[in-house]
Amino acid sequence: MSLEKKWIWQREGYPNFEYNQTKLEPILQEIKYYQGLLDGIYMSINDEDLGKAQIEIFTQEIIDTSAIEGELLSRDSVRSSLSNKFRIEIGLKDSSNKKTDGLVDILIDAVSNIEKPFDESRLFSWHYALFPSEHNTLHDIRVAKYRNDEMEIVSGAIGREKVHYVAPPMLKLEEEMSNFFSWLNEDNATIIKAGIAHFWFVVIHPLDDGNGRIARAISDWVVAKEVNKKQKLYSISTAIKKNKKAYYDVLEKSSKGEPDITEWLEWFLGTFLIALKDAKESIKFILDKTAFWDKHRATVLNERQIKILNRLLDVGYGNFEGGINTRKYASLTKVSKPTATRELKDLVEKGCLVQKEGTAGRSVAYEIKLH
């Protein structure tokens, strides 16, 4: 393992991270404002709709936190796992699996069990939930155990490798994690602490795999403690995924610097603010989506029609670019064009779809009819 560069964990003062509070204050004030707006939304939603909104937001959170690491999950599997956990019927055939069940358990534990300390036992239970089988990757990983070798993040072809980061030696892991747990469980949860926890855990990199996903879940736990709420109507992973390259760039840059991590915290808080702003619009659409299915609970639809409606609703406002037309319907459902035309016409007659403005004749297209 090359130690030619001086990493942050080798700097004097580590792990006593520093930051410029004055520089962060404007972002913190804006975060406080948008948290207040979301508090108002919490109070205006009944328990049933809140549960359904959480399923949609948690689904996107779980899909995106895995996508950041390059792993693609089935939306239906994630939603099924959440439906089973919340005991809310969402009209889907159960397609949950151990992987999605585990990811759901981590997220719900992070948001719901805010009084419970975060210690080694809890960390390892999350890691086991993340990797329910030790043999699910091309190389075996140590599940629910600290890594037992040195760790480098490297890219590039053999002979031209670029070392992005070298983690603390494995012999220092016990000490590193003991310090991390002691600090994390101090009674001073703040959004800044969530950002520091995220960064520090990634710096230590104590596990063979899954460090990023667990770091993001730990930051969710700290934020939940700060606001003292066991619901979450935002997704920071979704905001991070939108600018994944910047996320990795600022982590890499900060891991090579001094213990002053103001630049990382600016990025983290700015991304958290984006998540809060996005949540306001997302919740409105989720409630519209819930109202749509409440209205059409008794509408007779076949499996293909339900599939298309869910695909359109999952995309959000505007649906597919250009709307859904006969060609797209036939392609997605594997039916003939005459069948697609007939089933689309049926959806319009039943009030599920409406003709898209500006389309007609052979170019006619449709979009969800929301109320």
> Is-above-0.85 flag for pTM?
no
Q: Cβ contacts of residue 322 below 8 Å, gap of 6+?
A: 356, 365
Measured distance CA(71)–CA(73) in Å, rounded: 7
Classify residue 46 as left (phi > 0), alpha (psi -120 to 50) or beta: beta
Of 154, 202, 153, the closest CA to residue 176 belongs to 202
Q: How far is CA 197 from CA 66, 88, 216, in A?
A: 19, 33, 9
89 with 43: CB under 8 angstroms? Answer: no
Query: Can you tell me the distance from the alpha carbon of 187 to that of 225, in angstroms, rounded to the nearest whole number?
Result: 9
pLDDT, residue 285, reads 78
Q: At what angle do helices 244-255 and 262-295 cross, to 10 degrees?
A: 150
8-286: CATH topology: Fic-like fold (1.10.3290)
Burial of 118 (0-12, 13-18, 19+ CB in 10 A): buried
Report the CATH number of the 296-368 domain: 1.10.10.10
Hey, how many other C-beta atoms are within 10 angstroms of the C-beta on 69? 13
Distant-in-sequence, close-in-space partners of 112: CB < 8 Å, separation ≥ 6:
224, 230
DSSP code at position 33: H
- pLDDT of 135 reads 46
H helix count then E strand count, the chain: 14, 4
Q: What is the spatial distance between Cα 333 and Cα 326, in angstroms, rounded to a whole number?
A: 11
Would you say 365 and 348 are in contact if contact means Cβ atoms under 8 Å apart?
no
Q: How many CA atoms lie within 13 A of 85 on its CB side?
A: 26
Closest CA to 274 of 226, 223, 239: 239
Q: From CA 271, how far away is CA 276, in angstroms rounded?
A: 9
Residue 316, pLDDT score: 63
What are the mean pLDDT values of the chain's consecutive 10-residue runs (371 residues total)?
Answer: 71 95 97 90 78 85 95 92 86 86 96 95 97 63 93 87 93 97 94 98 97 97 87 89 95 93 98 92 79 90 92 69 87 95 96 91 88 68
pLDDT of the residue at 138: 47
Distant-in-sequence, close-in-space partners of 165: CB < 8 Å, separation ≥ 6:
7, 152, 153, 205, 252, 255, 256
CB 225 within 8 A of CB 185: no
- The answer to whether 66 touches 240, Cβ cutoff 8 Å, is no
Amino acid at 12: E
Calculate the alpha carbon distances from 272 to 43, 202, 222, 240 in Å: 21, 18, 13, 9
pLDDT at 4: 54
Beta bridge partners of 18: 260
CA-nearest of 369, 331, 365 to 350 is 369
Rounded CA gap, 45 and 60, in Å? 20
| Domain extents in the chain | 8-286, 296-368
